[in-house]
Structure 1
Amino acid sequence: MPERSLDAEGGTGHRAADSFSGSAPGRRRSLRDEVIGRLVRAALDDQVAKSGRSALRVVDAGGGTGHLAVPIARMGHQVTVVDPSPDSLAALERRAAEAHVTGRVQAVQGDAVSLRELLGEATTDLVLCHSVLEVVDDPQVAVHAMASVLRPGGALSLVAANRYAAVLAKVLSGHLDQARAALDAADDPVEAGPTPRRFTPEQLRGLAENAGLVVVDERGVRVFADLLPAGLADEPGATAALLDLESQASAHPKFRVLSAQLHLLARRQ
């Protein structure tokens, strides 16, 4: 499989702002994307090794305009993006065409809960569900649906907002009353509310295990990246150094609870 960075897509007009050579805010976004990209590439490489197939079937639930799907397709995998927004899917198709991967990208209108009906059981090597559980009607039902489309040995990659980090973020922004509310709610059950859900590591792990999956890896996403002043992105070597630091800290349990998001990889036996 050719070596490609998941933040280096083809086409124009979609990702130029995410380039490391862009503005400081653009570099910050690119750094965030690269942290996720490294996790996804590791999951893909692991599935390739376990399955013995160089081309996997990947589903991106809620994948929108294809910021992950298109680079994955450029690696040679078949990617189905399931998303409720027709506008996002139209943008996905344009992006795939610009990157010359139309034949490896499929756009399907729907949601995570309906994956089994849309795709069939045991049809998929890897399901990505990134920043989706925060807004679905029932996270457990959604995870069950995603688990059902996995082949034996297939994996589910979950990324969700971290409840504990929300407390720190509110303090740093000066919203102390909101920080106290987030702190008081940190161990509450995962319920729908007026704002997107946030999850504790224990809650995210429970969702996967209750769906019959075995958790094989847990990491933090953006442990430090959101805390740094924007000007740091202009310093030579700062981005590479921060990526290395993020990679090391992401697997450390004590740092993971401070990360903006949680990443969990779980496998169907």
Structure 2
Amino acid sequence: MSDPLRPRASLRTAVVWEVLKDALERRVKAAGRDALDVLDTGGGTGNFAVPVARLGHRVTVVDPSPNALFALERRAAEAGVEDRVRAVQGDAHGLFDVVERSGYDAVLCHGVLEYVDDPAEGVRQVVDALRPAGTLSLLAAGLGGAVLARALAGHFTEARHALTDPAGSWGEGDPVPRRFTAAQLTDLVAATGLTVGAVHGVRVFADLVPGVLVDTEPGAMDALLKLEAAAAEQPAFHSVATQLHVLAERD
């Protein structure tokens, strides 16, 4: 996934980025500080961490891949925010071996729950990193989007497998081991005591529209971005989104 501020990549990230920016702005006002401490778990090469640092916040990125963290540091340096981005090797299971418990105003948990053995424990871990009144941004693969995509590609058996599989996987070749419904994600978050503020469907249309149409049709990209934004908060579209985003707060 590319930088959320780049136009082409924004088809996949714009909804989450706009929601996240607004949430951080609200947290700044509530905290009475110009800069927040933000934890990005599984943040990899800094797709969100670097833009968040550009806003002036201090970001700690925890990721198991040394190569991804090296790319993060290079990316942060190129953006001129290396002093506000800290790269730490680790994973969700041993999170507090490498970062402080209750030490962050906001935690990003994007693309992590799909790969952990116990999603409930994974959510509890990241929530425990929040300070009082902290904000959680949770992004995970959506079940309905995968079923729809496999069916439209003519892989009907795989689509049915994903629909009936407890983990939402469409088979042995599936690169994503686990997917979620909106209800499953909100239940996981609510179980930690956080209050769910909003749920968004992400990439409702972007993954289904031919890339050549977006790249060559005048105004198509902007129109598609506006359509994604309009559909994101509509519950009817959550069931067919490629990803689901949950924003929650600790009261």
TM-score by length of 2: 0.91
Q: 1:265 aligns with which of 241, 247, 251?
A: 247
Deviation of 1:52 (Å): 2.4
2:218 is the alignment partner of 1:236 = yes
Deviation of 1:34 (Å): 2.5
| More displaced stretch, 33-42 vs 118-127 | 33-42
| More displaced stretch, 176-185 vs 74-83 | 176-185
Q: Distance in 1 between matches of 2:205 and 2:120?
A: 29
2:118 is the alignment partner of 1:138 = yes
What's the CA shift string for 1:217-263, capped at 9, x where partnerless?
Answer: 11100111111122221222221211111111100000121111000
Q: Distance in 2 between matches of 1:71 and 1:115?
A: 23
Cα RMSD over matched residues? 1.8
Q: Distance in 2 between matches of 1:161 and 1:60?
A: 17
Deviation of 1:138 (Å): 1.6
Q: 2:143–2:168: 8 Å Cα contact kept in structure 1?
A: no
Deviation of 1:204 (Å): 0.6
Q: 1:62–1:111: 8 Å Cα contact kept in structure 2?
A: yes
What's the CA shift string for 1:174-232, capped at 9, x where partnerless?
Answer: 001011112223xx3689x9542000111111111122211111110011111112222
The letter of the residue matching 1:230 is G
Residue segments in structure 2 that go unaligned for 5+ positions in a row: none
Q: Distance in 2 between matches of 1:221 and 1:119?
A: 29
Deviation of 1:32 (Å): 1.0
Q: Distance in 1 between matches of 2:167 and 2:187?
A: 11
Q: 1:116–1:146: 8 Å Cα contact kept in structure 2?
A: no
Q: Which residue of 1 aligns with 2:190?
A: 209
Q: 2:4 aligns with which of 3, 7, 10?
A: 7
**Equivalent position SS for 2:188:** helix
What's the CA shift string for 1:24-72, capped at 9, x where partnerless?
Answer: xxx3x34213233222212222222322222111111000111111111
Q: Which residue of 2 aligns with 1:63?
A: 43
Q: 1:113–1:146: 8 Å Cα contact kept in structure 2?
A: no
| More displaced stretch, 137-146 vs 168-177 | 137-146
Number of equivalences? 244
2:238 is the alignment partner of 1:256 = yes
The letter of the residue matching 1:110 is G
The letter of the residue matching 2:218 is P
What's the CA shift string for 1:92-137, capped at 9, x where partnerless?
Answer: 1111111111110000111123223322222101111111110112
Q: Which residue of 2 aligns with 1:13?
A: none
Residue segments in structure 1 that go unaligned for 5+ positions in a row: 1-5, 9-18, 21-26
Q: 2:203–2:228: 8 Å Cα contact kept in structure 1?
A: yes
Q: Distance in 2 between matches of 1:46 and 1:190?
A: 35
Q: 1:116–1:148: 8 Å Cα contact kept in structure 2?
A: no
The letter of the residue matching 1:232 is L
Aligned-pair identity in percent equals 52
Q: Distance in 2 between matches of 1:168 and 1:31?
A: 19
| More displaced stretch, 111-120 vs 81-90 | 111-120
User: Which aligned segments of 4 or more residues in structure 1 are displaced greater than 6 angstroms?
Assistant: none
Q: Distance in 2 between matches of 1:227 and 1:49?
A: 38
Q: Distance in 1 between matches of 2:204 and 2:78?
A: 33
